[in-house]
Chain A
């Protein structure tokens, strides 16, 4: 397999995206190529480093009042629904 194709598939080789079904041969071929190609191994290391960086990302923390805001909006939405229902209801007076 050529370096160009291996490099294109490397991001999928990492987590097994190209190892199942009809890709199983491809996965083996990539592994064999990596054993003899320094350049592609370097590329794989770059993806490994990127994965390490990704895993270091902190999960964004919502504002402290996030849940409260949603509940308030929910209450308003319920109120609006009821108001709309009242407006649609026939007036008997």
Chain B
């Protein structure tokens, strides 16, 4: 009864809130994930609302990186949250909700790809062209010219298409590490493999991506000139090592302190 009353009280506050972010603000779980899990396991609708408000965007982003069609990504994201709702009682204390949701998301995206592949064999009419991109945040950079913006858009499309060409076992690891900014340990938890395996997959995935993007990387207008002023993602490779763009212009590179020591684990597997 207490939970129902509390749920109703939060819903009343949420109803008065203007938009989704306001709704999230009036709910009390942002600091205490354990309490949120308790509420979710107790069947609280308000807690589920909070989960959807906070994680539907990130989960959608992850899934969209794994599948080529944006409508598929939306459907898969919906399935992820339904699976989460049904499986929350099995959630292990001490785990991270985000890691757990991402694990479901990766599994659902892979299942979807397998289903699509089987379905495609049966029905040739399904169009699998990867060109159907996802909507993305378009923040106009007033300092960049229309040419810069168009070129930047081209680079983004090229990278997204290249990612889709990397086998999914490597792609998922690269996306989690390089786009989602997870540590090797977190990626290992999401993919339920060892840290060594994660490193191996990420290295291979990056090598494949680098080969696919080679023509663009060789084109000075496509690579070095394409560092947009507005970065939406903070790449884990965008450490001081990479932010020193001036070094690109020099023939000799000072390698002192290049590697990014943070967020890595002990390499136990082959790379």
Give the B-binding residues of A (Cβ under 8 A). 8-9, 11-23, 27, 31, 34-35, 38, 41, 44-63, 66-67, 69-71, 73-74, 77
Contacts and interface: CB of A to CB of B under 8 A. Distances in A.
Contacts of A38: 251
In this complex, the member of A12, A45, A77 whose beta carbon has the largest number of chain B beta carbons within 10 angstroms is A12
B176 to A, nearest CB: 13
Given A55-B231, A60-B65, A17 B202 contact: yes
A52 B259 contact: no
A57 B178 CA distance: 11
B206 interface: yes
Interface magnitude class on chain B: 35 or more
B237 A55 contact: yes
B27 interface: no
Contacts of A59: 57, 61, 136-137, 232-233
A31 B213 contact: no
A60 B253 CA distance: 35
B154 to A, nearest CB: 11
B228 interface: yes
B47 to A, nearest CB: 11
B223 A74 contact: no
Interface of B: 20, 45, 48-49, 52-53, 56-57, 60-61, 64-65, 70, 73-74, 77-78, 81-82, 85-86, 134-138, 152, 155-156, 158-160, 177-179, 184, 199, 202-203, 206-207, 209-210, 213-214, 216-217, 223-224, 226-228, 231-239, 241-242, 245, 248, 251-253, 255, 258-268, 271
B137 A53 contact: no
A63 to B, nearest CB: 5
Contacts of A66: 56-57, 60, 74, 77-78
14 contacts: A11-B202, A23-B271, A44-B253, A48-B237, A48-B248, A50-B209, A51-B178, A54-B179, A55-B231, A57-B160, A57-B179, A59-B57, A60-B135, A62-B61
A24 to B, nearest CB: 9
Contacts of B184: 17
Given A14-B260, A47-B206, A59-B137, A20 B267 contact: yes
A74 B80 CA distance: 11
Contact of B271 (A18, A41, A62, A77): A18
Contacts of A71: 49, 52
Contact of B260 (A15, A46, A63, A74): A15
Contacts of B217: 46, 49-50
A58 B53 CA distance: 20
A27 B224 CA distance: 26
Contacts of B267: 12, 17-18, 20-23
| Interface pairs A-B: 5 shortest CB-CB | A55-B235, A58-B136, A51-B237, A11-B206, A21-B266
Nearest to A27: B259
B224 A49 contact: yes
Nearest to B75: A69
Given A9-B271, A12-B199, A66-B78, 16 more contacts: A8-B271, A9-B203, A11-B206, A17-B203, A18-B199, A20-B264, A22-B267, A46-B223, A47-B237, A53-B226, A56-B155, A57-B232, A57-B233, A59-B136, A61-B134, A74-B52
B141 to A, nearest CB: 11
